[in-house]
């Protein structure tokens, strides 16, 4: 049985159903010569075909089988049964090439021939029956397929036993039919059992390795399909590793397993991990397959989707275009309503690029495609395309054309109240209402529509992994609520909506409990497994409840509501148990929006709180002070906003490489300032001296202190012009926030002298400025001890830590060089230190395969152990016991989140705060060793003299900027690397 379920599901990011072979006229079958008295040589060659693998390279396999059959025909004396089974091998090769009808006809001919000759009933005969069932299932003839498949299972049980590969194959075949009928709950355990049998057999014999991969890939796909992304990721990782270890590098199934892992990671929201995997798979398929093969299009689309959602939409656009081009040339290979979705993604990219005309044309094309191939005008794909086109028409001031489309969508949507399609339609209706002058009604209607979604996002009965995906899907809706509410008196609704729009950014660590469970003891591991199982069960109940609500089945709705309530209660209990067993879990994952009144009450005169929201149409900014609230908007395409940020990053990088000659793109910094701080906000900012900032995604990586508040004069490369520039740091002390709620307040311990712990300068490779670029294995996703040892060492880090230690009275502890190990950090009495400094490399959580959270590089051991693998991750940090006024992370990329589109501080910062830190100083980019010590020491000294932490950092930055003894001091790459979290 080789029609893998992954071909049916193939990760929902591909947004299409099974590639189904189109109708083809069956080619004439070679004559089956049934002669007696075989020649030994011909018989041997034919018998050798029986175990021949046709899946790795089916084209080559087909040529080989046909060559053997041709030689056998020339002898005229082949064994009839051997010849029939050789024809079955040929049929398997045809099946692997999606030549389904040809394969089915040949399988039937073989079966009839064996029956006519009364051939012995063997396990091989069971496989033949199963293959007939497989081809029938692929053609949608499910009842006939069920009959053949059940006969195969019974025969395999009788002649080979329930631990045989033939029995596993038949179980898998029945699972496929279950899935095709919609009985996913029945399919899952059958595939799991088939995988267990096949794995045991393959391990014992070294045979049938491909079956393990087929079943495992299918199991992960089905787990994802039933919304169990956590378990799907674990399964996909396991099967990809199995395939990489046991199958040849270019084996079709090995490539498919890797593709599936990347697609499932992407669907689970772990885009940065998915991207390198999907890139590698695409290159493999390009090398193995013809340029227009639909499998290449699937790889192109999966990679584009991951890039798109991780903030790299400029790279995603051409990949979407090529995928659509291939599928349009092969319309028989996909369900074309999936093609409509892909064209819609092209339209999103066009809108992001600011090309509204192309975006509108593509929306029209997507709707036309959906209508052409869908069975009904009420098909969900048609309704989605209509809603998207209505939105584009509305943006183009073509309201009369948009209105009937939206009315049709709202009247025919058969989804629950929290479904993305429902929210999208209500969002557009609210926009129309607002533009027609009913702003208050639009706020009320959209707020009511979003209320169930808000409740679900904040409920601890919602699995933490689901919060990430739901938050990503709902960001646009909450942004629109914030935009509409900010235009009127409902500023409190805008304040709440901006926090909800950024909710996914606040969940930076523990995003994959399943991947972390082996790091804890038996009780915690069992608690995680129980939690994940309950979460999967709860998802299914919520889906069933939504279907009952849509169907208007009141009896089923009441029954399911009771089941959902009981399930939610169980999940809340499991969540509480996790909080008791997994250090930092609650603090890292608990996010509750602050109330506007509470935020205002805690602000003193001169302090401000800035919330920023971003979507495809622009920015919404809200400034909150003790006395009032001011909001503003800035229209800007996503592409232009990204380009401004890229220009700043390029300026910083050039400054790091050549601090004497590099310039800084002050015009980009000035334009970005005006977008983030629109006119009403700029005017209100005059009364603010200290500003806390909550920004989404890549905007949180902006060095706010280095934004330019007045039109720059002079040359960008002139140090004196840079010093005369009106940087934001000249007017405001800034810090960033984890949430609109203040950090926990922990009183200092009376009578204790300030003590210091310094950790870093790990023993690594030769020094290099941009270490990640010089460590190809780490960049490719390998974070084993050998790969970490390739990272460049930091030659001045030890001196920085020693200098800092010398400035503190009382005891200090230094873990430097060979002493800077994970083992030593975990054993150190860090709770005694009031200031803790790390001087090392930080790795971005989610960007590296096998790492689901950010971490700090320590001196790697020779051999990794569960206690020490050279990487101190966020979840391990959360288990430390701290009582620190400051944690300073003077490292490369320690402020980084999960991707280009992720917040700077959601991972490590949350972990250190959970462990007991009151404030953090983190680096935006690689910090020059000679400057890091000066900035951090001046900041600490200023805070000890009574300045606020933010003001102390601001003065330290300006001191470096104005200094004459620091090379390149005027360049922001030198003076603005740090960001303050908390104050």
Q: What is the pLDDT of residues 410-448, one digit of tens each?
A: 888 776 677 777 788 888 888 888 888 888 999 999 999
pLDDT of the residue at 906: 56
Of 635, 526, 578, the closest CA to residue 875 belongs to 578
Q: CA–CA separation, 27 vs 31, rounded Å? A: 12
850: left (phi over 0), alpha (psi -120 to 50) or beta: left
920: left (phi over 0), alpha (psi -120 to 50) or beta: beta
Of 472, 419, 418, 420, the closest CA to residue 270 belongs to 472
In angstroms, the first-to-last Cα distance of the chain is 62
Contact 902, 851 (CB under 8 A): no
Of 637, 663, 661, the closest CA to residue 652 belongs to 663
Contact 165, 174 (CB under 8 A): no
pLDDT-flagged residues of the chain (< 70): 1-43, 51, 56, 227, 331-337, 415-416, 504-520, 583-584, 587-588, 742-754, 768-782, 844-853, 891-907, 929, 983
pLDDT of the residue at 780: 56
pLDDT of the residue at 213: 94
Q: CA–CA separation, 683 vs 45, rounded Å? A: 87
Q: CA of 604: how far to CAs of 601, 743, 746, in Å? A: 8, 16, 20
Q: CA–CA separation, 495 vs 648, rounded Å? A: 29
Instruction: Return the number of other C-beta atoms located less than 10 Å from residue 760's C-beta.
Output: 26
Q: CA–CA separation, 638 vs 636, rounded Å? A: 6
pTM: 0.75
Q: Which residue has the tokens 């045809």?
A: 94
Q: CA–CA separation, 8 vs 19, rounded Å? A: 7
């Amino acid at each position: 049985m080789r029609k893998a379920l992954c071909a049916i599901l193939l990760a929902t990011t591909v947004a299409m159903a099974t590639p189904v072979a189109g109708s083809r006229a069956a080619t004439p079958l070679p004559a089956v010569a049934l002669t007696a008295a075989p020649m030994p040589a011909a018989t041997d060659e034919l018998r050798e075909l029986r175990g021949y693998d046709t899946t790795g390279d089916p084209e080559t396999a087909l040529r080989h089988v046909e060559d053997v059959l041709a030689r056998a025909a020339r002898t005229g004396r082949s064994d009839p049964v051997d010849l029939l089974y050789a024809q079955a091998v040929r049929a398997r090769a045809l099946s692997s090439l999606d030549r389904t009808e040809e394969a089915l006809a040949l399988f039937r001919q073989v079966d009839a021939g064996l029956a006519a000759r009364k051939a012995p009933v063997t396990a091989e005969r069971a496989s033949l029956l199963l293959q007939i069932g497989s081809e029938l299932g692929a053609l949608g003839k499910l009842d006939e397929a069920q009959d053949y498949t059940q006969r195969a299972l019974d025969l395999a049980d009788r002649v080979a036993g329930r631990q045989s590969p033939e029995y596993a194959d038949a179980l898998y075949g029945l699972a496929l039919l279950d899935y095709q009928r919609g009985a996913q709950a029945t399919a899952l355990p059958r595939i799991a059992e088939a995988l267990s049998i096949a794995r045991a057999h393959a391990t014992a014999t070294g045979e049938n390795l491909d079956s393990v991969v087929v079943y495992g890939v299918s199991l992960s796909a089905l787990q994802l399909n039933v919304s169990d992304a956590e378990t799907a990721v674990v399964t996909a990782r396991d099967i990809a590793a199995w395939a990489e270890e046991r199958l040849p590098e270019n084996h079709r199934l090995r490539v498919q397993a890797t593709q599936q892992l990347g697609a499932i990671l992407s669907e689970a929201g772990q885009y940065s991990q998915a991207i390198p995997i999907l890139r590698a798979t695409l290159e493999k398929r390009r090398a193995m397959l013809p340029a227009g093969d639909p499998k290449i299009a699937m790889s192109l689309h999966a990679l584009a989707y991951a890039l798109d959602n991780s903030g790299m939409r400029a790279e995603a656009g051409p990949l979407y275009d090529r995928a659509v081009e291939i599928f349009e040339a092969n319309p028989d290979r996909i369900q074309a309503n999936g093609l409509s979705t892909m064209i819609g993604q092209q339209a999103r990219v066009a809108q992001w690029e600011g090309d509204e005309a192309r975006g509108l044309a593509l929306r029209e094309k997507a709707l036309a495609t959906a209508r052409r191939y869908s069975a009904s005008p009420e098909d969900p794909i048609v309704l989605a395309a209509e809603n998207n086109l209505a939105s584009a028409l509305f943006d183009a001031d073509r309201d009369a054309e948009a209105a009937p489309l939206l009315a049709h969508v709202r009247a025919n949507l058969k989804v629950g109240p929290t479904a993305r399609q429902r929210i999208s339609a209500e969002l557009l209706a609210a926009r129309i209402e607002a533009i027609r002058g009913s702003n208050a009604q639009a706020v009320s209607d959209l707020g009511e529509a979003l209320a169930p979604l808000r409740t679900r996002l904040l409920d601890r009965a919602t699995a933490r992994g689901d919060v990430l995906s739901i938050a990503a899907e709902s960001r646009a809706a909450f942004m629109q609520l914030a935009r509409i509410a900010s235009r009127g008196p409902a500023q409190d609704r805008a304040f709440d909506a901006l926090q909800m729009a950024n909710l996914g950014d606040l969940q930076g660590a523990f995003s994959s409990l399943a991947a972390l469970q082996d790091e804890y003891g038996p009780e915690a591991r069992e608690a995680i497994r129980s939690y994940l199982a309950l979460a999967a069960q709860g998802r299914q109940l919520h889906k069933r409840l939504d279907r009952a609500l849509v169907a208007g089945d009141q009896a089923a709705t009441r029954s399911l509501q009771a089941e959902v309530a009981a399930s939610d209660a169980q999940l809340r209990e499991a969540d509480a148990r996790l909080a008791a067993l997994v250090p930092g879990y609650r603090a890292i994952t608990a996010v509750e929006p602050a109330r506007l009144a509470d935020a205002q009450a805690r602000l003193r005169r001169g302090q401000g709180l800035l919330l920023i929201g971003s979507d495809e149409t622009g920015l919404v900014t809200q400034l909150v002070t003790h006395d009032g609230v001011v909001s503003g908007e800035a229209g800007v395409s996503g592409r232009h906003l990204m380009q401004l940020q890229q220009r700043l990053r390029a300026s910083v990088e050039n400054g790091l490489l050549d601090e004497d000659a590099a310039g800084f793109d002050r015009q980009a910094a000035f334009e970005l300032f005006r977008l983030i701080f629109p006119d009403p906000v700029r005017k209100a900012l005059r009364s603010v001296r200290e500003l806390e900032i909550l920004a989404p995604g890549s905007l949180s990586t902006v060095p706010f202190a280095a934004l330019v508040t007045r039109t720059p004069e002079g040359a960008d490369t002139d140090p004196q012009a840079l010093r005369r520039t009106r940087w934001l740091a000249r007017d405001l002390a800034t810090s960033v926030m984890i949430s609109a709620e203040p950090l926990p307040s922990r009183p200092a311990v009376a009578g204790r002298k300030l003590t210091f712990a310094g950790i870093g300068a790990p023993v690594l490779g030769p020094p290099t400025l941009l270490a990640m670029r010089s460590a190809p294995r780490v960049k490719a996703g390998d974070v084993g001890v050998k790969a970490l040892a390739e990272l460049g060492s930091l030659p001045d880090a030890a001196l920085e830590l020693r200098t800092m230690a010398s400035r503190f009275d009382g005891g200090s502890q230094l873990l430097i060089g060979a002493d800077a190990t994970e083992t030593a950090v975990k054993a150190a009495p860090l709770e005694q230190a009031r200031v803790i400094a790390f001087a090392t490399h930080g790795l971005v959580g989610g960007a590296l395969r096998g790492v689901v959270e950010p971490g700090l590089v320590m001196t790697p051991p020779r051999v990794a152990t569960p206690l020490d693998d050279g990487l101190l991750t966020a979840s391990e940090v959360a288990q430390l016991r701290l009582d620190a006024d400051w944690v300073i992370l003077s490292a490369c990329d320690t402020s980084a989140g999960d991707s280009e589109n992720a917040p700077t501080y959601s991972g490590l910062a949350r972990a250190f705060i959970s462990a007991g830190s009151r404030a953090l100083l983190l680096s935006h980019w690689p910090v020059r060793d000679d400057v890091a010590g000066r900035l951090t020491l001046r900041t600490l000294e200023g805070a000890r003299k009574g300045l606020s932490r933010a003001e102390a950092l601001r003065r330290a930055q300006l001191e470096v900027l104005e200094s004459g003894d620091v090379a390149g001091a005027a360049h922001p790459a030198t003076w603005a690397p740090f960001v303050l979290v908390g104050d």
